């Protein structure tokens, strides 16, 4: 979001990678499941595998959704920064070229959301 400052705006952003103690911020979004109303950011070490990130950070964060337990992560469809993307779940975030503040969207076409309504 743009900022129009009324005066000098002379300081570095606080969300720079150097401020996350070796971690990177990664934004995740579950497509067509708006019960989770917005993407969510997770601080992750770049050496963590995508599968480990999913199982330890992402899956627990969306576990309240009735469809969450049905996700087949091996067949999920992915986008990275709005482009189709085929990650290797067993490679690290760095090896998958996931960087600080990247935006990852996963889609599960076989799951239509709460009551098949995209919720």
Picking from 73, 81, 87, 77, the residue whose alpha carbon sits closest to that of residue 26 is: 81
Average of per-residue pLDDT across 54-66: 96
Query: Per residue in 103-118, pLDDT tens?
Result: 999 999 999 888 778 7
The model carries a pTM of: 0.87
Which pLDDT band, with edges at 50, 70 and 90, does 1 fall under?
A: low
Are the CB atoms for 44 and 20 separated by under 8 Å? no
Are the CB atoms for 42 and 58 separated by under 8 Å? yes
The residue written with tokens 């309240």 in the block is: 64
Domains defined for the chain, CATH in brackets = 20-116 (3.10.20.560)
pLDDT at 81: 95
């Amino acid at each position: 979001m743009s900022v129009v400052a009324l005066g000098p705006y002379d300081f570095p952003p606080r969300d720079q990678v150097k401020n996350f103690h070796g971690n990177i911020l990664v934004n995740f979004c579950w497509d067509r499941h708006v019960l989770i109303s917005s993407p969510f950011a997770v601080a992750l070490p770049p050496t963590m595998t995508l599968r480990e990130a999913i199982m330890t950070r992402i899956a627990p964060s969306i576990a309240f959704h009735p469809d969450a337990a049905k996700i087949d992560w091996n067949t999920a469809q992915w986008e990275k920064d709005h482009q189709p993307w085929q990650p290797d779940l067993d490679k690290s975030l760095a090896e998958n070229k996931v960087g600080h503040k990247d935006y990852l969207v996963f889609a599960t076409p076989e799951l239509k959301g709460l009551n098949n309504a995209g919720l």
